[in-house]
């Protein structure tokens, strides 16, 4: 699970960001900081994986916070979420290591894309023993792809797909069957098969047949790590 710290001095915006975060499988809000000073203290003590950081806050601004964070040696990743749209602010954020920059107001789909791209990158660097150029190119430059949200096939819903995907995410890289997902998600096995088939056709899941010593062959699925973030186009 990826732990997120929200640094936002507007309680209504902070709550909205929290709901956005928890709508994406694999993410949870660790804490909410209402001032930059509080956010810096929490980040250095609790070491969240990711911080959502606004620039315009009372006291020191978000860019100053980010600079202090890096000067202290913190490895917490940062996604800037701000109304600041001037090139100077954006360049400074990138210079201090922001992994993404969302300009307010933004669409939920873009927010989800930012989190899913981050999850892809976070998982890749956490598990990779050596890196191929093609893998690195995908991880570093996938945000430049002009992808737009896609429609689900008739009979499938975003709500159920989100529930199924949440159960898949808990597999932590292991393979799974339709029965495993049905048990973990509470969705019927018949429905689960439809969603797994769709995800397979979209290239998000890889499939293999397991031949045991007893009984019929079993279809097993595994998340395709290089296309994991594409589920955000449908949820």
Domain count for the chain:
2
Contact (CB, 8 A) for 30 and 57 = no
Token readout for 85 is 């749209």
Name the residue with higher pLDDT: 109 or 211: 109
Three-state DSSP at 93 gives helix
> Which token pair is 225?
């790590």
β-strand partners of 203: none
Instruction: Output the pLDDT for position 7.
Output: 94
Residues 28 and 95 reside in one and the same domain:
yes
Residue 53 burial class via C-beta count within 10 angstroms: exposed 0-12, middle 13-18, buried 19 and up: buried
Whether the pLDDT of residue 125 is over 80: the answer is: no
* 186-200 exposure pattern, b = at least 16 Cβ within 10 A, e = fewer: ebeeebbbbbbbbbe
pLDDT at 1: 86
Q: What's the rounded mean pLDDT across residues 49-66?
A: 91
Q: Is residue 178 located within the same domain as residue 229? A: yes
- Look at residue 53 and tell me whether its pLDDT is greater than 90: yes
CB under 8 A, 24+ apart: contacts of 170-177: 171/222, 171/223, 173/127, 173/222, 173/223, 173/225, 174/222, 175/208, 175/220, 175/221, 175/222, 176/220, 176/221, 176/222, 177/218, 177/219, 177/220, 177/221
Answer yes or no: is 147 within a domain: no
CB atoms under 10 Å from CB of 169, counted, come to 17
Instruction: State which residues form the domain around 169.
Output: 158-233
Banded model confidence at residue 234, pLDDT cuts 50, 70, 90: confident
Instruction: Show which of 78, 96, 123 is a domain's final residue.
Output: 123
- Mean pLDDT, the chain, rounded, equals 84
Residue 6 sits in the same domain as residue 108:
yes
Distance CA 110, CA 224 (A): 21
Query: 146: pLDDT confidence band, cut at 50, 70 and 90?
Result: very low
Answer whether residue 142 is part of any domain.
no
The two tokens of residue 13 are 């915006």
The residue with greater pLDDT, 4 or 167, is 4
In a domain, 150, yes or no: no
| Cβ contact 135:90 at 8 Å | no
Q: What is the reported pLDDT for 142?
A: 57
* CATH number (domain holding residue 196): 1.10.10.10
């Amino acid at each position: 699970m990826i732990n997120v710290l929200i640094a936002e001095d507007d309680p209504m915006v902070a709550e909205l960001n929290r709901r956005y975060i928890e709508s994406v499988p694999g993410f949870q809000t660790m804490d909410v900081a209402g001032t930059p000073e509080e956010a810096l203290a929490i980040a250095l003590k609790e070491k969240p994986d990711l911080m959502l950081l606004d620039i315009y806050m009372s006291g020191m601004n978000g860019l100053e916070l980010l600079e202090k964070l890096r000067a202290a040696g913190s490895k917490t990743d940062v996604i800037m979420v701000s109304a600041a749209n001037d090139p100077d602010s954006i360049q400074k954020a990138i210079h201090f290591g922001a992994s993404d920059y969302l300009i307010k107001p933004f669409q939920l789909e873009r927010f989800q894309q930012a989190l899913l791209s981050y999850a892809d990158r976070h998982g890749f660097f956490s598990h990779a023993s050596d890196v191929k150029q093609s893998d690195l190119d995908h991880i570093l430059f996938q945000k430049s792809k002009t992808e737009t949200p896609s429609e689900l096939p008739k009979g499938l819903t975003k709500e159920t797909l989100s529930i199924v995907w949440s159960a898949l995410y808990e597999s932590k890289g292991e393979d799974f069957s339709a029965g495993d997902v049905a048990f973990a998600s509470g969705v019927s096995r018949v429905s689960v098969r439809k969603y797994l088939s769709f995800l397979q056709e979209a290239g998000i899941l890889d499939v293999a047949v397991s031949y045991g010593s007893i009984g019929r062959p079993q279809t097993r699925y595994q998340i395709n790590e290089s296309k994991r973030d594409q589920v955000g186009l449908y949820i």
